Structure 1
Amino acid sequence: SGPSLGRPKKDEEQDRPQARKDAAARNAVEGKCGEGKRSYGLGRIRVRLRETSETVIALQLLVMNLERKLRILFLPIFRLLMNLCRQPKWA
């Protein structure tokens, strides 16, 4: 969303919640792009063709998603292993 076209409304407060939601969504996307540039090298793409650039970016986003899923999967397994190691062994 952006500023509405045409004559300004008398009550501008009605557009604020929508603008706030849009800003929150943009912040999430910009944060993920920044993480990609810092951690995954998205800022260092130096390919010339458009198709190649899009492919490299798509692969980097795939790697980002896979690493996130791996972190989510690894944490419960790690906790389970830690709990198994802490239990006393009888007999």
Structure 2
Amino acid sequence: MSQEMMQISFGMLFLAFLLVVTLRSHGLLWPYVAFLLFEIVGVFDFVVLDDEKFGLAINEVGSSYKYSTYDYLASLMFFLSSTFYFVARHRTPRQ
């Protein structure tokens, strides 16, 4: 995945995150979480399991690709934890 595609998918995931949090709909939550987990597993697989391909990509594109990939993986995990936090916060009864 190129750096431009990472930025585009990051923006789309951010808009989906805002939609899920504002609507608080379980019909939107679970497909969003499933897609987010799919993205996390895909990036993790590319970084850890396909280490040779990841190394070739770093050599061809440059070291900035390494940091942007790690940043993208951390951002996906942040979106996942933030989604569960906001949904859980809105589901608890207020006193």
User: In which range does the TM-score fall when normalised by the shorter chain?
Assistant: 0.3 to 0.5
Structure having greater relative contact order (Cα 8 Å, sep ≥ 6): 2
TM-score by length of 1: 0.37
Larger Rg: 1
Structure with the higher fraction of residues in helix conformation:
2
